[in-house]
Structure 1
Amino acid sequence: MGVRPLSDASAPGAVILAAGLGRRLGGRPKAALHIGDQSLLERLAAALRGAGVAQPQVVLGPYLDTLLSLAERAGLTPLRHTRAEPSLIDSQRLAISAHIAAQPNRPLWLLLGDLTALTSDDLLTLRAAWEAREAGIEALVPTVAGQRGHPVLLSPSALHAIDAQPAEQGVRHWLAAQSAQVRFQEIDSAGPVQDLDTGEALAALRQACVPLSVDWP
C-alpha cells in the first residue's frame, strides 16, 4: 500500500546534484545511467513530483552535453556550474543559493543524482516525518538500518545558515555543528542508501533489474 499524498502547498523544493565526475565508474555521468528506457535523472524527477515537488531543479557540471537533454526531457530546471571540476560542496552551495533566491521560505531537499531506488513513497514518508517533527528540528536525514542516506531535508533557517558558512564548508559541516537541530529518521526502504558509487554497485543493480537493461546511452 502506498503512502497517502500530502498537500503540494507544503512540499519542499528539491535540487538533484548531478555535477560529479563519476571517476570510479570510468568517468561517466552517473545520473545518465538508464534502467530500461529511463535515466536516473528521469526516475528521480518522477519520484519528486509524486511527492508533491512541482518544479525540481538539477545541478549540472562537466557532462552538460549528455545531461542537459536528459534534464529537459525530465522537466528539470538546470543550474549550470561554471567550474570544470566542482566538488560536492560546490554543488550544494549552488543549489542552496539558487533555492534561497527563488523560494527563501520553503524547505529544500538535496538529492544525489545516483540514487537508484528512491521512490515517491520514500519521500512522502520523509515529508510526513518532517511535518510531524518536534520544535527546534531544522534538518531531517533518512537512515536505513542506521546508515545515513539521502535526501537531506533542510529548513529555511538551516539553508540560510549553511549559505553563510565559509565557501569551503557544506551541509555536513552544518549538520555536525548543529546536531541538536538534526533528526535522523529511520525508514524501511533501501531507496535512501542505494547509490552508484562503485563498479560493484553497478553490477548488483544490473543483476537486480534483470530483464531490464542497465547502461549508459
Structure 2
Amino acid sequence: MKIYGLVLAAGLSSRMGNLKALLPLDGGSVLSNCVRSLLDGGASEVFVVTGYKADEVESEVRKLGINSVYNPDYEQGMFSSVITGIHALPDDASAFFVLPVDIPLVRSSTIRALTFDFNKSPSDILYPAFKGKRGHPPLISAKLIPEILQHDGNGGLRKILEKHDSNSRDKNMPDLGILHDLDTPEDYTTALRFSRNKRFPLLEECEALWELAETPEATQEHCKAVAKGACIITKALNAARQNGPLLDMNIVQSAALMHDVAKTRRNHEAIGGNLLAGYGFTGISEIVASHRDTKIDQNSPLTEKEMVFLADKFFKGTALISLKKRYEKTMCKWADDPEAAKAIGERQKRAENLLARYEDETKIRIIDLLSDQILVS
C-alpha cells in the first residue's frame, strides 16, 4: 500500500502574526517538523500545499527535498487546500494523511502506528486519539477521494468524514501533540517548550501510557510515590553537587512515573523500556529498563538513572521502607532458591554501595530526607 502525506501550509497565519510554517522549531522549522513526522512515520511521499507567501514557503520546501503544490484559492479556506493536495496525489495512493502545518508536534511514532494499523486492517478513516479525544492527522482511505472532490465545501472536510464515522477507527496514542494547535504566540511558546522535551513523556502522556499498558491502579500509586521521592533526593543532590552535571528533574520524574508501566508482564523492566522506546520516549527508556538493578563505574557521577533506582528501593507500594528491609523481604521470598538468593544478595550489595555514594556526596541519609519530606507534604 502507498500512503502519502498532505501538509496544508497555505493559510494567512493572521492570529500568529508571523508565517507559521517558517517559525523555528526543534532544530528546523514548523514545516520541517510536520514533514519529518510524516516521512519518519512511514509516509511514502509528502506534498506541501502552499498559498499565502507561497514563494517563502516553497523555498523551505525545496530545502526539504519534497514536493509543493500551489493553491490559488487559499483565501477560500482550508478545504480548498485539501482539494488542491488531493489533486496532486499519485494514482497509486491507498490512503493519505491530512496534517495542517499548525499541528507540528505530532510524533513520528503516532504516524507509524496509524500506518501499520491501516496496512493491517484498512478502514475509511483512522484517527489518532489522546485519552479518547481525536486529533490530527486523520488517515483517510483513497476510496473517499471522489466524494471529497465532489463536495461543495460546506462544512469542509469534516462534513465528509462525519458521514463515514461508522467505518472509522480511533488509535489511542500517548501523544499530546496531536491536539496542540499553533494559532497564537502563546501556543508557539508552549510548542518550543514541548519540543525540547519530546524524548520523555509529559505527565498527561504518562497517564495515557498507564492506560494503554493497563498498569494496575496500585502500581500507578507506587510510581507516583517513587516519583515524588526521586524528585526529593535529586533536588538534594543538585543542591549539594559541587562538581559534575546537575540532574534534570523532568527526566527523573517521568522515568520514575514510568518505571513500572509494564509491571504485569514478565521481565517488566525490559518490556517497559522497549514500550517507551517504541513510542519515541528514548530519554527515559534506558532508565526504566534498568531500574531493577543498576551498575555504575565508581568514577562516574550519579545520574538520573541512579536517582530512580534508589527511590524505587525505598518504597513498598506507597509506604517508605529502608533499603535493608526491602531486600530482606525479597530474600525471604526466594530463600529456598540458592541461585536466586545469591543474585539478590549481589543486587543488594550494589544498591548499598550506590546508597553510600549518594549519602557521601550529599551528607544526607536518604531515609531521613524522605521521612521528613513525605510526612510534611
TM-score over 0.5 for the alignment? Answer: yes
Contact kept, 8 Å, 2:125 with 2:164, in 1: the verdict is: no
Unaligned residue ranges in structure 1 (runs of 5+): 1-9, 212-217
The yes-or-no answer on 1:201 pairing with 2:192 is no
Q: 1:93 aligns with which of 70, 77, 83?
A: 83
Other-structure match for 2:128: 142
Q: 2:20 aligns with which of 19, 26, 30?
A: 30
Q: 1:40 aligns with which of 30, 34, 38?
A: 30
Other-structure match for 1:65: 55
Code of the residue aligned with 1:52 in structure 2: it is G
Other-structure match for 1:128: 116
| Structure-1 separation of matches of 2:170 and 2:74 | 34
Contact kept, 8 Å, 1:60 with 1:79, in 2: the verdict is: yes
Other-structure match for 2:104: 116
| Structure-2 separation of matches of 1:52 and 1:127 | 7
Q: For structure 1, which segment, 152-161 or 163-172, has the greater mean C-alpha deviation from structure 2 after superposition?
A: 163-172
Give 1:84 deviation, angstroms: 5.5
If the length of structure 2 is used for normalisation, what is the TM-score? 0.49
Other-structure match for 1:76: 66
| Structure-1 separation of matches of 2:173 and 2:117 | 10
The yes-or-no answer on 1:185 pairing with 2:171 is yes
Structure 1 residues 52 and 104: CA distance shift in structure 2, 3 A: same
Structure 1 residues 189 and 84: CA distance shift in structure 2, 3 A: closer
Give 1:105 deviation, angstroms: 4.2
Structure with higher helix content: 2
What do you get for the CA RMSD once the two structures are aligned?
Answer: 2.1
4+ runs deviating over 6 angstroms: none
Query: For each residue in 1:62-105, what CA deviation from the matched residue of structure 2 results, as whole angstroms up to 9, or x when unmatched?
Result: 12132111011111211101126240111111112222xx2254
| Structure-2 separation of matches of 1:15 and 1:171 | 13
SS at match of 2:183: coil
Code of the residue aligned with 2:21 in structure 1: it is A
Contact kept, 8 Å, 2:47 with 2:88, in 1: the verdict is: no
Contact kept, 8 Å, 1:118 with 1:191, in 2: the verdict is: yes
Code of the residue aligned with 2:8 in structure 1: it is L
Query: For each residue in 1:155-198, what CA deviation from the matched residue of structure 2 results, as whole angstroms up to 9, or x when unmatched?
Result: 11112221122244532011112221221222111232223022
If the length of structure 1 is used for normalisation, what is the TM-score? 0.81
Unaligned residue ranges in structure 2 (runs of 5+): 198-377
Structure 1 residues 84 and 93: CA distance shift in structure 2, 3 A: closer
Query: For each residue in 1:104-136, what CA deviation from the matched residue of structure 2 results, as whole angstroms up to 9, or x when unmatched?
Result: 5421111111223222211111112222336xx
Contact kept, 8 Å, 1:30 with 1:113, in 2: the verdict is: yes
Structure 1 residues 21 and 149: CA distance shift in structure 2, 3 A: same
Contact kept, 8 Å, 1:50 with 1:120, in 2: the verdict is: yes
| Structure-1 separation of matches of 2:96 and 2:104 | 20
Pick 1 or 2: higher relative contact order, CA cutoff 8 A, min separation 6.
1
Structure with higher strand content: 1
Structure 1 residues 197 and 145: CA distance shift in structure 2, 3 A: farther
Give 1:56 deviation, angstroms: 0.9
| Structure-2 separation of matches of 1:84 and 1:117 | 24
Other-structure match for 1:17: 8
Code of the residue aligned with 1:19 in structure 2: it is A
